[in-house]
Amino acid sequence: MSKFLKIMATLGVLATPAMSEPLGLGRTALPEEIAAWNLDVSPDGTGLPPGSGDVLTGEEVFAGKCASCHGDFAEGVDNWPKLAGGWDTLARKDPVKTVGSYWPYLSTTWDYVNRSMPFGNAQSLDPDEVYAIVAYILYSNDLVDDDFVLSDQDFAEFEMPNADGFIVDDRMETEFPKWVGEPCMKDCKDSVKVTMRAMVLDVTPEEASAETAEIVVAEAEELVPEPEVASVDPDLVAAGEKVFGKCKACHQVGDGAKNRSGPMLNGVFGREAGAVDGFKYSNPLMAQAEEGLVWNDETLTGFLAAPRSYIKGTKMSFAGLKKDEDIEAVIAYLTTFPDP
């Protein structure tokens, strides 16, 4: 019996909340299991592992693992989150909410980077890398100097600029009393004028009617060619699709695939490198392309195993696939997306 239950029983106050007797289901969580999953970090630093990282190391790690989406200076690429800047914008129209301008606790940044980043390769960073990345994000927000070192020891002392920028939900006090009660039913206003129209803005996605959709389906069925390569192992392709989960954050395949922070990959197998229209490749990759690099089994295997040593200076900030079978599978998967 828990200490709590003992007290309750002694006092004879088994009223609300009435604890029901355990059913004895489940099993005890082992310390190793709790350690593996209990990763959250609280504002006071509870949950932080020992470690440290400095701004310059952070800059290097950030350039390799974060910059393809968040930009070299944490300014954000396309629609990906901006992590730096936005000072004094919170009270203006369209505030820019970054780690520096908005996030109230440093623990949130550490926790999120550690638990969920990089996008598509979560929980791959060691604690020192996380400390270094967080230090660099602070530096890119002009909150620390370039000789700053962040560690578990001094973590809790760090106060974020917008720490006092939050209040607890006050709708019941500020809104509810205004809008409660019997509302007006007749002659509630003199005139009604259109002040804004969605069709003028015209940002709504187009949609096909059921009829068009049917036609598209029918045509697609007619157009599907007999598979030319009968030798692709469906199990291998399925395994490759899973592996491709690591690539999806930056690369698209299939119908409507577009360039993202990486080029779209339809037809990549068998094609010369650096050939997707509209994608800005790194200079080192274009240099290799000019020398005749073609993506085949051998070259893709080499590149995917260690992208940044295979093409030094590539924009692809991916550590590489460690297992040969993963590489084989993902190549098999890519061959199923021919150039349209």
Q: Which is nearer to other proteins, 160 or 273 (CB)?
A: 160
Q: If binding means CB under 8 A, how many residues of this protein chain bind other proteins?
A: 96
- State the nearest-atom distance from the C-beta of 272 to other proteins, in Å: 26
Residue 53 φ then ψ, to 5°: -160, 145
Q: d(Cα 36, Cα 41) in Å, to the nearest integer? A: 14
Residue 65 is which amino acid?
A: K
The window from 131-139, 140-148, 166-174, 320-328 that contacts other proteins (CB under 8 A) reads: 166-174
Q: Is 27 in the site for other proteins (CB under 8 A)?
A: yes
Q: How many CB atoms lie within 10 A of CB 103?
A: 21
Question: In 138-161, which positions are buried (b, 16+ CB within 10 angstroms) versus exposed (e)?
Answer: bbbbebbeeebbbbbeebbebebe
270 lies in the binding site for other proteins (CB under 8 A): no
Looking at the DSSP bridge assignments, the partners of residue 53 are: 150
Cβ 241 vs Cβ 234: under 8 Å: no
C-alpha–C-alpha distance, residues 107 and 47, integer Å: 9
Among 9, 217, 232, 238, binds other proteins (CB under 8 A): 217
| CB-nearer residue toward other proteins: 193 or 225 | 193
Find the binding residues for other proteins in span 81-140 (CB under 8 A). Answer: 90-95, 97, 99, 102-105, 107-108, 111-112, 115-116, 119-120, 122-123
List the x/- string, 7-26, binding to other proteins by CB under 8 A. ----------x-xx-xx-xx
* Identity of the residue, 120 or 320, whose beta carbon is nearer to other proteins in the bound complex: 120
CB 150 within 8 A of CB 48: no
Of the residues 147, 179, 222, 224, which one makes contact with other proteins according to CB under 8 A: 179
Cα–Cα dist 244/206, whole Å: 30
Task: For the CB of residue 200, give the shortest distance to other proteins in the complex, in Å.
Answer: 7
Question: For residues 278-317, which are near other proteins according to CB under 8 A?
Answer: none
Query: What x/- string results for residues 185 through 204 when contact with other proteins is judged by CB under 8 A?
Result: xxxxx-xxxxxxxxxxx-xx
Residues 226-255 that bind other proteins (CB under 8 A): 245, 248-249, 252
- Run of H or E including 151: strand 149-151
